[in-house]
Amino acid sequence: MEKSSIGETKAMKVTKTVTRKGRERRGWTVVFSLMALLLALASCKPAKVTEKPLDSQKAGTSAGTVAQGSQAPHPEAAGTMPAVSRKNEAALLVYKHTGFGYQDSHGYDTSIFRILAHPTGQISGAVMYARMPSEEAQKTTFNVSYVGDQIVVAASGDGTSWSAELTAKKEQLDVKGKVNYSIATGTSLDFISPDGSYVERYSIDTAASELTSEIKKGGAVEEKGKWSFPEKKKAFYAQTRPQDEQNTEGFTIDFWFEDSGDVRFRTEGPAPVNEAYASGLSGLLASEHGLANAAILDLILGESRYLRPVYALLMSRKGTGK
């Protein structure tokens, strides 16, 4: 019995020693495994840091592009140039040319028109400035004079010199000089060639659910357009050629009304056209002198097919909530 007990005791000691050594080995194995895992994680960190900024940059660019098209433009805002603000003039128009190559060919991309008016609301003159990095550089001066039933508009400065005479008739002004055409109003704002073969007609009828436009040449419809009002203080214009299924020559205008009476709009065709901000322009066009003011603005701003729909919209006051 004693020998057996001694044998069992020795066996138990051996077993305990083996068990303790096994535990120690497993403990060291766990330690080494944890150290290896930490080293592996540390070696992965640089790869993650390198990749994240690239992914974030791509995502940011994509989101920014989408957001920009859905927001009203602010061409007057400060950036690398001083902000443009209305001073003591009757109206201010900040017009940024967003078309390709304008900056390179002209040395600037934003024109600033400061428009003056008599207390009666009739435009009396304007000055056009180029927005430069450190200043507004004066480019052209426009003088407007009234004699009886005639209005004379003259421009001078920076290689520009022209004049035009506007003769008033009932709801119509005949323009001669720089260009020759008539501009008339009633339920629409019309631009008519001297022989009547070419007509641009833009509705200003506030009773209509939409403001439509039509351009005819030789009696045939060349282009059609329409102002719609998708939401409060927002308007949208689209003009296309009936036969132009791909709309390669048409254009659209996104338009925003502000509570202050200021407006903003962006025009785009197959390529960008403009971004604009105007303060006080609505009052000049919605007044009793709206027809004459529209004719004067049309001359000053260059008989633009992109701006004539805007004149009509502001004359109608539709979409402003007033």
% of residues, the chain, pLDDT over 90 = 67
Confidence band, pLDDT 50/70/90 cuts, at residue 265: very high
Whether residue 212 contacts residue 226, with contact meaning beta carbons closer than 8 Å, is answered with yes
Establish how many alpha carbons lie within 13 A of residue 6's alpha carbon, considering only the half-sphere containing its beta carbon. 2
- For residue 11, pLDDT over 80 is answered with no
Structure tokens at 15: 């077993």
Distance between CA 321 and CA 290 in Å, rounded?
19
Helix (H, G, I), strand (E, B) or coil at 113: strand
| Tally of CB atoms within 10 A around 168 | 16
| Residue-level pLDDT at 298 | 98
DSSP H or E run through 114: strand 110-117
Establish how many alpha carbons lie within 13 A of residue 88's alpha carbon, considering only the half-sphere containing its beta carbon. 2
- What does the DSSP 8-state code read for residue 280? S
Most confident of 9-23, 65-79, 136-150: 136-150
Confidence band, pLDDT 50/70/90 cuts, at residue 102: very high
- For residue 8, pLDDT over 90 is answered with no
- For residue 81, pLDDT over 50 is answered with yes
Distance between CA 68 and CA 74 in Å, rounded?
11
| Residue-level pLDDT at 70 | 59
Whether residue 284 contacts residue 306, with contact meaning beta carbons closer than 8 Å, is answered with no
Whether residue 260 contacts residue 72, with contact meaning beta carbons closer than 8 Å, is answered with no
Whether residue 121 contacts residue 289, with contact meaning beta carbons closer than 8 Å, is answered with yes
Mean pLDDT value of segment 130-148: 96
| Residue-level pLDDT at 14 | 37
| Residue-level pLDDT at 79 | 83
* Of residues 204 and 69, more confidently modeled: 204
Nearest alpha carbon to residue 295 among 173, 211, 179, 114: 173
Structure tokens at 115: 């428009």
Mean pLDDT value of segment 231-250: 89
Per-residue DSSP letters for 216-267? EETTEEEEEEEEEEEETTEEEEEEE-TT-TT-SS-EEEEEEE-TTS-EEEEE
| Residue-level pLDDT at 21 | 44
Mean pLDDT value of segment 293-317: 96
Structure tokens at 269: 């065709």
| Residue-level pLDDT at 220 | 95
- For residue 23, pLDDT over 50 is answered with no
Mean pLDDT for the chain? 82
Whether residue 308 contacts residue 191, with contact meaning beta carbons closer than 8 Å, is answered with yes
| Residue-level pLDDT at 58 | 27
| Residue-level pLDDT at 157 | 95
| Residue-level pLDDT at 224 | 96
- Look-up of token digits 């480019």: 139
Whether residue 85 contacts residue 93, with contact meaning beta carbons closer than 8 Å, is answered with no
Q: Crossing angle of helices 290-300/308-316, nearest 10°?
A: 160
Mean pLDDT value of segment 143-165: 95
- For residue 218, pLDDT over 50 is answered with yes
| Tally of CB atoms within 10 A around 295 | 28
| Residue-level pLDDT at 33 | 52
pLDDT digits (tens, 9 = 90+) for 38-71: 444 444 443 332 222 222 222 222 222 223 445 9
pLDDT digits (tens, 9 = 90+) for 168-178: 988 899 999 99
Mean pLDDT value of segment 20-42: 47
Mean pLDDT value of segment 211-221: 96
Confidence band, pLDDT 50/70/90 cuts, at residue 254: very high
The residue type of 301 is: L
CA distance to 8, 9, 14, 123, 216, per residue, from 1 (Å): 11, 12, 20, 129, 127
Least confident span in 33-42, 186-195, 202-211, 275-284: 33-42
Confidence band, pLDDT 50/70/90 cuts, at residue 249: confident
Distance between CA 190 and CA 14 in Å, rounded?
112
